[in-house]
Copies of this chain bind each other. A is one copy, B any other.
């Protein structure tokens, strides 16, 4: 099943059921006005949504074209946005570039941070950047949306709480990070609002590509129409989503609608490129002693998408432009 949130002037938008091929959509049952309301009562609403999805796929005359709809983030505001850093190659690369050893617990204790979740950007929402000196970067990621998840969930039970999957652009302000991390309390100003794919899908939509808590497909990033990277999100995700869920539930529980990200997708094979500017800049530093790729400038465009083996888009496309604030 595929779902999206239509902009209708309200804060949380209108829940839409979207056809498998992403071409058409219809409003969900009036009892389920928003994606949060669907997640809040998933067990009772799931079959209603599923029937609607089936009807839409079976009858190509049903629904309105998705390209006529303005899509918000699937959850325009969420109760939590938690982001892991599960691709070890990304961490090792960044450390190597500054001649630092990776942390000793790199492979045993997930790196994770709590992000801001009150304002989340739609797939075509501009990234408003006040100061290009902040070093704006994209980070292409995959994410899961959880149902109510109890404290002390084990890795083996975690699959039960994964309701939906999506893509994320975790916007980062690289030049604000060192001073913030120096203070010891983690990211804050350095992590502005993240952008989301227009559509979220249930795990069954990925078939065998969803395996052991990982999505085994390339995540494709373009910068200004040039391919920037297409690393596979599966094999090198050191901590699976199931392990990340076990980690975050050690001391507390989560409400339905909590979004959990994978961290920047990264492969050891350099031919797969990168999912963020920082990584390419680090490779330049390692190779040539100096980074030549600049951070994002006003006017730059970032495009993030994931396709199946038949070349069909699964989640739709994140296409964000970097812009200055309106005068």
Chain A residues near B (Cβ < 8 Å): 11, 40, 77-80, 82, 85, 103, 105, 109, 111-119, 128, 130, 134, 151-152, 173, 176, 179, 181-193, 247-248, 250-255, 257-258, 325
Docked pose: A53 CA to B184 CA in angstroms = 44
Residue of B nearest to A253 (CB): B119
**Please, which residues of chain B bring their CB within 8 A of the CB of A11?**
40, 255
**Please, which residues of chain B bring their CB within 8 A of the CB of A79?**
77-79, 117-118
A113 is contacted by which of B80, B128, B152, B188 (Cβ under 8 Å)? B188
**A188:B114 contact, CB within 8 angstroms:** yes
Copies of this polypeptide in the complex: 2
**Please, which residues of chain B bring their CB within 8 A of the CB of A248?**
188-189
Docked pose: A192 CA to B85 CA in angstroms = 21
**Please, which residues of chain B bring their CB within 8 A of the CB of A254?**
116, 118-119
Q: A79-B117, A119-B253 are in contact. Are A185 and B111 (CB under 8 A)?
A: yes
Docked pose: A247 CA to B188 CA in angstroms = 10
Docked pose: A105 CA to B128 CA in angstroms = 27
Residue of B nearest to A249 (CB): B189
How close is A116's CB to chain B, nearest CB, in angstroms?
6
Docked pose: A69 CA to B107 CA in angstroms = 48
A185 is contacted by which of B112, B118, B253 (Cβ under 8 Å)? B112
**Please, which residues of chain B bring their CB within 8 A of the CB of A251?**
130, 134, 173, 176, 189-192
